[in-house]
Amino acid sequence: MKKSTLTLVIAGVLAGCSMTPEYVRPEAPVATTFPADTAGKAAPNVTRIASDIGWREFFTDARLQSIITAALDNNRDLRTAALRIEEARAQYNIQSADLLPTINATATGSRARVPGSLNSTGTSIVTSSYQVGLSLASFELDFFGRVRSLNEAALSQYLATEEARRAAHISLIAEVAKAYLAERAFTEQLALAQRTLVGREKGYSLAKQRFDVGASSALDLRANEALVAAARVAVATLTRQRVQAANALTLLIGKPLTDLPAAQALSSQNIVTELPAGLPSDLLTNRPDIRAAEERLKASNANIGAARAAFFPRISLTASLGTSSNALSGLLDAGSRSWTFAPQLVLPIFDYGRNSGNLTLAEVRKNIAVADYEKTIQVAFREVADALAARGALTDQIEAQRVATEAQAERLRLSDLRFKNGVASSLDVLDAERELFNAEQALVQARLLRLTNAIDLYRALGGGLREKVESK
């Protein structure tokens, strides 16, 4: 009978019960499909989803690949995210230790002198006491799952931190790529502005000569001067923007870089722009930030179990086993064995609402975690939807801007020919030059927007976590 009872007690200790509510993933608060977009369909030769495309395959520019590699090694934000994982792992290990008893080796010794005035013999007494052995620290018998719930919460927090690092990894790659392309765009626009400034300075010089000999009016001269000044303003502005873009890129990388491969023009960037969007439900598994939000939700759910278990009795054990003697030489003598066994039962009676408050707090925090999880899904849905909506429009914008630039170039050629034949005025040529410069700058900006949109879609779909991914 005693053996059966002991078996049941041990089984109860090992199995126990859990007060943690059953976890049910909340319904995704978004549509089941992304908004219709005919341009959002993948190109015929693109069959893999974003998460199955490594970033080296997505970004083929050797210079950009070198920059991303350096950023992954040196970026301080990513390094902090990695250290957060170590912190969460350590906290989980600390919490897991409470599931098993802590046994310590102990050795104590003491000597005391009692004056004769304080004892019945009338003479001073010197006493000694020595003890060695093993001790079991206060170990909670987790009948109601409080410790296990705390352990589950710590595990979910650790997993959330790991997913947060993955999300930071993806975001860093996307931000580095966009910063690099922005720096390239400013560089190309600056080259256009410098080339335009040289041409306009030559035009102003000719206009000055014609004005000096009375072949043109002061209006023509001032119009040429205004164009030169505008070109200088553009050069100064773009010089500043290019330097600031380079500084932003250096900050993301974490250190200055030298000996990089040659840069490619924006028009030569072979970035995968046609990616299949899939379904919104795919984001739940492909986006690490959504997975991190769900792990935080699971942690909040487990904390409810710990708060519920606090209403029930808490049983803990403290014990020791060893030898004791009043002399060091007697610690190994027969009959010197000693032991203590001290179970403790704590039952909350009057806590003035503390346990109820803790339970309410845990439930509120779970509701906050649910809202955070749903908001994360909604943000992810919007990012993909926005990128899909812009993809087709930007393709049309680039084509229209390219046609407009070619038309402006032809207009300038014809205006200059008419001016040389005396059919048109110099103001027509100056106006054509100004419009061509604006069109060229707009074409560079449109190409940057198109590439940036492709990067945003790649990141929004969960791409960029791996360097290389084998085709399935």
Pick the closest to residue 411 from 397, 424, 398, 399 (CA basis). Answer: 424
Identity of the amino acid at 89: R
Structure tokens at 189: 């626009």
Sign of CA dihedral 383, 384, 388, 394: positive
Q: Tens of pLDDT along 86-106?
A: 989 898 888 888 888 888 888
Structure tokens at 353: 């609402």
Structure tokens at 187: 């560089």
Q: Which pLDDT belongs to residue 199? A: 86
Q: Which pLDDT belongs to residue 9? A: 41
Q: Tens of pLDDT along 98-131?
A: 888 888 888 888 888 888 777 777 788 888 888 8
Query: Can you state the percent helix, strand and coil of the chain, rounding each to 5?
Result: 65, 10, 25
Per-residue pLDDT for 288 more than 90? yes
N-to-C CA span, the chain: 61
Strand partners, 104: 135
Pick the closest to residue 367 from 379, 359, 355, 378 (CA basis). Answer: 359
Q: Tens of pLDDT along 289-310?
A: 999 999 999 999 999 999 999 8
Q: Which pLDDT belongs to residue 164? A: 93
Per-residue pLDDT for 250 more than 50? yes
Q: Which pLDDT belongs to residue 295? A: 95
Q: What is the C-alpha separation between 289 and 464, in angstroms, rounded? A: 13
Per-residue pLDDT for 47 more than 80? no
What's this model's pTM, rounded to 2 decimal places?
A: 0.83
Work out the burial of residue 324: count CB atoms within 10 Å of its CB; fewer than 13 is exposed, 13-18 middle, 19 or more buried: middle
Q: What is the C-alpha separation between 246 and 252, in angstroms, rounded? A: 10
Which band of pLDDT confidence, cut at 50, 70 and 90, is reported for residue 266? confident
Mean pLDDT of the 51-74 span: 91
Q: Which CATH number fits domain 15-101+142-316+357-460: 3.40.630.40, 1.20.1600.10, 3.30.300.30, 3.40.50.720?
A: 1.20.1600.10
